Amino acid sequence: MAAEHDEGIVLRLTDFRETSQIAALFTAAHGQLRLIAKGARRGTKTRIAPGLDLLERGELAFLPPRGEAELGTLTEWVQRDAYAGLRRTPVRLYAGFYAAEATLTLTEPGDATAALYAGLRGLLESLAGDAAAGAALVAFQRTLLRAAGYAPHLESCVECGRPPRPGEAAYFGSAAGGLLCRDCEGHHVEKRRIADALRGTRPEGGAAVEWFALLDYHLTQVAGKRLRTAEPLERLLRAEA
């Protein structure tokens, strides 16, 4: 069987048997891939494959899963960017971990979305550089939610269509799909009050930590569980804000 080629980002590594690892990657053309990297485990004498690191980007060759198998096989990995800069502060590193966990949670193997790959790559570049982590994260959350079909509607109340009035409390309903005004929020059980700091702002401006928390709430509802990395990341973001 011929190997396929792609470029991808390493999102999770799990030890497998004596010497191997299972790598979960998000790739440009194939979306999420889960591949066995034989002999890639560090510290083993029989290491035959180059080691993989979390949150690095590279070019790969792989044999796709056959039949009922869920795992393909990684046959080649050439690192192209280690994003070393994102490891220099905890908030940047956790932002990368959060993006990895969120991507694996909201995509299925086989969903190829070039826009999401570009968004993930752009986020890691921002985190490795000097851009503010919060704003870069919010942009990524929006790209991920859009790719997964859950882009929230924030311009007006999803129920009555009225734009938010200045100075009036507003709510966000995840199942409702976006903004709920004070008159309509009473019909919805699942909702969250929108922080006062976000009134009249848009995700691309405004208080990044609060936008992160709101979009993380939406993501939590969509996923059915809070991501493991969300709570420590939110704490780090608030400490920096």
Is 69 a binding residue for Zn ion by CB under 5 A? The answer is no
Identify residues 25-64 at the interface with Zn ion (CB under 5 A): none
Nearest one of 129, 103, 125, 133 to 116, comparing CA atoms: 103
* CA–CA–CA angle 187, 191, 212 (5° rounding): 155
Binding mask 139-158 toward Zn ion (x if CB under 5 A, else -) reads ------------------x-
Query: 114 or 160: whose CB is closer to Zn ion?
Result: 160
Cα–Cα dist 52/140, whole Å: 24
Strand partners, 49: none
How many residues lie near Zn ion (CB under 5 A)? 5
Cα–Cα dist 194/171, whole Å: 5
Give every CB contact of residue 231 below 8 A, 6+ residues apart in sequence. Answer: none
Residue from 159, 164, 218, 229 in contact with Zn ion (CB under 5 A): 159
- Return the range that interacts with Zn ion (CB under 5 A); candidates 12-20, 26-34, 159-167, 186-194: 159-167
Binding mask 174-213 toward Zn ion (x if CB under 5 A, else -) reads -------x--x-----------------------------
Query: 60 or 170: whose CB is closer to Zn ion?
Result: 170
Q: What is the CA radius of gyration of the chain?
A: 20
Query: 35 or 184: whose CB is closer to Zn ion?
Result: 184
Residue from 160, 169, 175, 239 in contact with Zn ion (CB under 5 A): 160
Query: Containing H/E element for 7?
Result: strand 4-16
Residues 15-31, buried b or exposed e (16+ Cβ, 10 A)?
Answer: ebeebbbbbbbbbbebb
- For residue 221, the minimal CB distance to Zn ion (Å) is 19
Sites of contact with Zn ion (CB under 5 A): 157, 159-160, 181, 184
